[in-house]
Amino acid sequence: MAEVKLVPHSALGPLGASRRIGRLSDSAGVTLRERDDIGFLSIAAERGEASAVLARLGDALGLGIPDNFRRVGDGVSAIGPGRWLLDGLLAAAGQEYALRDLLAGIAGVVDESDGWVVLDLSGARVGDALAKLVPIDLHPKSFREGDLALTIAEHINVRLWRLSGGNAYRLAAPRSYAESLFRSLASAASEYGLEIA
């Protein structure tokens, strides 16, 4: 296995500059891109109000809101019974207050954006690299495009989405674990070549 060379962590340091880790010949098997443009809004239904929340969200967003571990539209994921996560454009600044008004009395809305580091992973060998870290079956028949898993990557609690468009995933982890997650990903992907975009 190729040696993994890391740089010092500052803020979200190791992800800050474009570089290659591990295998240098051929094209990189895994590409990692930090996403600092994605926020998260968490919605939790009050007891007995999940159906009402689904109906209001569906009407307001014009989407079929999932009730299982799936992602739909431009970023609505079900993360548990009566719990949803909005990301991307749906978690834009100011949306939190509109959702609080919409769901007043039936659900709580919390902005979690500052608490997470978000990484997009792609490439021909990304599934092989992730399989070293997460204890779930990543085969396309088991973990389909749009699926979401609340799992662990080594010792870190993560949210893992399978994105559309082939070998592409989104990984979100608590921001305080950013450096540890990066080191784990670098180690897992180094034999295939990891390109940090």
Mean pLDDT score of the chain: 85
Domain ranges of the chain: 13-36+115-196, 40-111
Burial of 46 (0-12, 13-18, 19+ CB in 10 A): middle
Between 45 and 14, name the one with better pLDDT: 45
Asked if the model's pLDDT at residue 183 lies above 80, the reply is yes
The alpha carbon dihedral of 28, 26, 135, 70 has a sign of positive
What pLDDT, in 10s, does the model give residues 52-81?
999 998 888 887 888 788 887 768 888 888
Q: What is the CATH number of domain 13-36+115-196?
A: 3.30.1360.120
Residue 14: is its pLDDT beyond 90? no
Q: Is 86 exposed, middle or buried (0-12, 13-18, 19+ CB in 10 A)?
A: buried
Sort strands 194-196 and 30-34 into parallel, antiparallel or unpaired.
parallel
3-class DSSP state for residue 82? coil
Cα–Cα distance, 142 to 72 (Å, whole number): 17
Strand partners, 173: 117
The fold of 40-111 is: Alpha-Beta Plaits (3.30.70)
For the full predicted model, state whether its pTM sits above 0.85: no
Q: Tens digits of per-residue pLDDT, 140-174?
A: 999 999 899 999 999 999 999 999 888 999 999 99
- What is the distance, to the nearest Å, from the Cα of residue 68 to the centroid of all Cα atoms in its chain? 16
